[in-house]
Amino acid sequence: MKILAIESSCDETSAAVLINGEVKSNIISTQHFHSKYGGVVPELASRAHIQYISEIVNHALKTSSCKISDIDTLAVTSEPGLVGSLIVGSNYAKGLSLKYNLPIVPINHIEGHLYSGAIEDNSLTFPYISLVVSGGHTVLYYVRSYSKYEILGSTIDDAAGEAFDKIAKLLGLEYPGGPLIDKFAKSGNREKYRFPRPMIHEDNFNFSFSGLKTSARYFLHNNFPDGTTENELCDIAASVQEAIVDVLVEKSLKALRQRKADKLAVAGGVSANSRLREKLDEISSRGKYKTFLPKMNYCIDNAAMIGFLADKKISEMGKDSFQDLTYRVNPSALRFGKKSRK
Ligand code: KG4
Ligand code: ZN
């Protein structure tokens, strides 16, 4: 089976080709221009998707040495995300479907992340715990199969990536600030300042990061009213990062213990964080739990994860279940907790 997958839910335009479940190409184009606005501007995001989607799809086909006439199924992200961005990918897929008479598998973006750990590592077998941690989502799942999973908890306010970005902004760093906090933290002392670890000891799997952001705001206002030196910035970045990572790791461990699971898969942009990766590697090296961190191009928003899940769905349900082109994009898909980010 040859699948052409498209992802355009936020600020990445991506297309991938999978042959019999194996990723042959996964082209991702990130809209870096949003950084000058301090966040993703939905209208500009959808315009940029329109501008680049054909090129990205053609690039994905070419890289996999396929022609559109070789493809037998399309997959596209239909929820959740920015409505305009979702519409561009979905309508592009519908256009191809009508022209080439191809079925479309509409895929939930978060479900794409949920299973992305298995794209390259078939030792990620069910059941497992999954932490999806990005700019719009911070959710812990107990995953039983490709169609059955349970939400254990999610953020009740800001997502972890949002906290990184907002605190970075307070520190005068560009959007997206997560990678910059990570970079400055490498030269900082993570024990220097003690920031709150919200909800870390609560007996549930929910997260809350807006209090941490407020605490960082007061901390900076009271201690560094005139700004920071680079050394101070590094220490603050390392201390804030430690607080966020501690909460993510502790809640994931709690889920592993409570569900008696032994595998933890992590995905979403924040899984690029080097301190989080370091701590997860440490956990794996102790032997009791195995952690799965897909390579970066499968962690961030990408079409390969959309195609991968579509492949599984077709194996379970058959191609004929996906002939209906009247499905609609759904920006909020509330069952996944947090809505799309601004
Ligand atoms: O999954 P993603 O690419 O897009 C969505 O949010 O859907 O995640 C982007 C988020 C941003 O908030 C960004 O700051 C954060 O991931 N991020 C990081 C790092 N790289 C990306 N946060 C902390 N450390 C990083 N190295
Ligand atoms: Zn995502």
Q: What is the pLDDT along the chain (342 residues), one digit of tens a residue?
A: 999 999 999 999 999 999 999 999 999 999 999 989 988 999 999 999 999 999 999 999 999 999 999 999 999 999 999 999 999 999 999 999 999 999 999 999 999 999 999 999 999 999 999 999 999 889 999 999 999 999 999 999 999 999 999 999 999 999 999 999 999 999 999 999 999 999 999 999 999 999 999 999 999 999 999 999 999 999 999 999 999 999 999 999 999 999 999 999 999 999 999 999 999 999 999 999 999 999 999 999 999 999 999 999 999 988 888 988 888 898 986 544 433 333
Separation of alpha carbons 44 and 260, rounded Å: 45
Separation of alpha carbons 156 and 7, rounded Å: 26
Nearest CA to ligand 1 atom 13: 178
Distance in Å, CA 113 to ligand 2 centroid: 7
Distance in Å, CA 315 to ligand 2 centroid: 24
Residues 6 or more apart in contact with residue 22 via CB below 8 angstroms: none
Residue type, 32: H
Scan for tokens 């800001």, then name that residue.
Answer: 158
Distance in Å, CA 203 to ligand 2 centroid: 27
What are phi and psi for residue 104, nearest 5 degrees? -120, 130
Separation of alpha carbons 211 and 198, rounded Å: 7
Separation of alpha carbons 200 and 211, rounded Å: 13
> What local confidence, expressed as pLDDT, does residue 271 receive?
94
| pLDDT tens column, 283-340 | 999 999 999 999 999 999 999 999 999 999 999 988 888 988 888 898 986 544 433 3
> For residue 267, which atom of ligand 1 is closest to its CA?
1
Separation of alpha carbons 213 and 158, rounded Å: 9
What DSSP designation does 302 have? -
Distance in Å, CA 235 to ligand 1 centroid: 21
Element (H, E) at 276: helix 274-285
> For residue 162, which atom of ligand 1 is closest to its CA?
12
pTM for this predicted structure: 0.91
* Spatial contact of 1 and 72, defined as CB atoms under 8 Å apart: yes
Residues with CB under 6 A from ligand 1: 10, 134-136, 161, 164-165, 176-179, 182, 268-270, 272-273, 300-301
> For residue 168, which atom of ligand 1 is closest to its CA?
14
